[in-house]
Structure 1
Amino acid sequence: MTSSPPVETPGIVIGNHTQKYTAKNPAIRWLTARWVTRLEQMLDRVAADPGAAGTSHALEVGCGEGVIANHLASRWSRVTALDLPDAGLRDQWRQRPGPHYLHADAHRLPFEDNRFDVVVAAEVLEHLPDPERGLAEIARVGAGHLVLSVPREPIFRSCNLLAGRYVRDLGNTPGHLNHWSTRSFVRFVSTVAEVRAVSKPFPWTVVWATLRTRP
């Protein structure tokens, strides 16, 4: 009998609870593809921004299986991507070479200040026990641009309920600890950066923001 590998980060949902990139449900795959397209369009805008001239180093916080990190690697010459310890993620990372992958906690990023030209956190902040600290860490290690994405609430939970998913938890996806509408998420991001653009691919919110100059 084959035994399961030991859990390296107990009590925390690692990666995607639903395999949205390869889901059997065509609606989930279509919505995910649309979200990825909008995210890529936002990344293209960042890469083309005059203020981003010469940027070369991107970071993805909470990279999951490495899908978005691969998209970053097509735009920036150096990409670092991190997530919590998990053997399954490491298997996925080996299938997506290019970015430099490592294990780390979003609440305590192991980098010096102002290290990265672009910092991306796609579907991460909703999972953090302390999202304010996570956002502050993202801003601390960033030196220019942020691209952040979260589920758009209460729409995201409503869609789960309509599909009969997580009914006992009122449609809340396991591991989602924080919930933002588009307006409240923009306010949240605005505490550390100037919001440049907002996209709302159903049922998500994607924000591009520029970090304010530090004194």
Structure 2
Amino acid sequence: MHAGSTPDTTTNVVGNFEDKYASSNPIAKALVAGFLDAVTELFVLAQPRAKTVLEVGCGEGKLATRLVRNAPTPARYLATDVSLHTLSPELDPRIETEAASIYDLPYADKSFDIVVCCEVLEHLDTPTRGLEEISRVARERVLISTPWEPVWRAMNMARAKYLLKLGNTPGHIQHFSRRGLETLAATYLHIHGMRTPLPWTVILGEPL
């Protein structure tokens, strides 16, 4: 997924080189299904309090479509990214879209009941600033995820991917262990739940 521009430049942060949602590999499909189930479960847990949802770093919009179709539909679901040129033509029509950087979201404080930001923080030069901004615009809950390192890279190596980069996916400039993401999240969130589908960490929290 895409992330946003760095705080002091207009250079876009690219997302992953592969579309994990479109993989035909049965193992990859099973892993992605586990990830989607974990994100959806935590999203549903937050849903009773949610009428408006903002997704930051929506990429192709496939996660947004999954959540809209597999959870109680909020009154508004707005999906944003620094660039919208990769949006899937199969994006659910109930989803609104807008170009915005995670570092400078054009919304007032506490504008959305839930903010979703999955597979984004690992692409950021300053993930702390990104988390601060998404927490600012969240009223009730923040849902985040990142790859679980170093397991993510080890799994890439096992399938002979990115060997010259020691398994690091292009575009990943931060590498979060489970404890590392939990520690970062706790700087701006009271953590309500964590799921650990291999090889990801997914956290649901409440803005402090």
**TM-score, with structure 2 as normaliser:** 0.88
Match of 2:39 in 1: 39
The 2-side partners of 1:195 and 1:10 are apart by 32
Note if contact 1:66-1:93 (Cα within 8 Å) is conserved in structure 2: no
The 2-side partners of 1:35 and 1:156 are apart by 13
The 1-side partners of 2:75 and 2:12 are apart by 35
The 1-side partners of 2:194 and 2:91 are apart by 32
Question: 2:127 aligned to 121, 128, 131, which one?
Answer: 131
Question: 1:97 aligned to 93, 98, 101, which one?
Answer: 93
Match of 2:109 in 1: 113
2:96 aligned partner, one-letter code: H
Deviations 1:108-164, CA, capped at 9 Å, x for gaps = 111111101000111011111111110010011111101111000110011011111
How far 1:33 moved relative to its partner?
Answer: 1.0
Larger mean Cα displacement after TM superposition, 38-47 or 79-88: 79-88
Match of 1:80 in 2: 78
SS of aligned partner of 2:86: helix
Q: Over aligned residue pairs, what C-alpha RMSD do you find?
A: 1.6
Note if contact 2:145-2:200 (Cα within 8 Å) is conserved in structure 1: yes
Match of 1:160 in 2: 156
Question: 2:14 aligned with 1:13, yes or no?
Answer: yes
2:114 aligned partner, one-letter code: V
The 2-side partners of 1:36 and 1:180 are apart by 19
Residue ranges of structure 2 left out of the alignment (5+ in a row):
1-9
Question: 1:209 aligned to 185, 188, 205, which one?
Answer: 205
Q: Which runs of 4+ in 1 moved over 4 A?
A: none
1:194 aligned partner, one-letter code: H
Match of 1:71 in 2: 66
How far 1:38 moved relative to its partner?
Answer: 1.2
Bigger relative contact order (CA 8 A; separation at least 6): 2
Q: Computing the radius of gyration over CA atoms, which structure comes out larger, 1 or 2?
A: 1
Match of 2:4 in 1: none
2:29 aligned partner, one-letter code: R
How far 1:85 moved relative to its partner?
Answer: 1.6
> Residues 86, 99 of structure 1: CA spacing in aligned structure 2 closer, same or farther, 3 A cutoff?
closer
Match of 1:6 in 2: none
**TM-score, with structure 1 as normaliser:** 0.86
The 1-side partners of 2:46 and 2:27 are apart by 29
How far 1:93 moved relative to its partner?
Answer: 5.1
How far 1:180 moved relative to its partner?
Answer: 0.8
The 2-side partners of 1:147 and 1:108 are apart by 18
The 2-side partners of 1:162 and 1:210 are apart by 37
Note if contact 2:12-2:82 (Cα within 8 Å) is conserved in structure 1: no
Identity of aligned residues (%): 35
Match of 2:3 in 1: none
How far 1:70 moved relative to its partner?
Answer: 1.9
SS of aligned partner of 1:111: coil
The 2-side partners of 1:109 and 1:79 are apart by 15
How far 1:88 moved relative to its partner?
Answer: 2.9
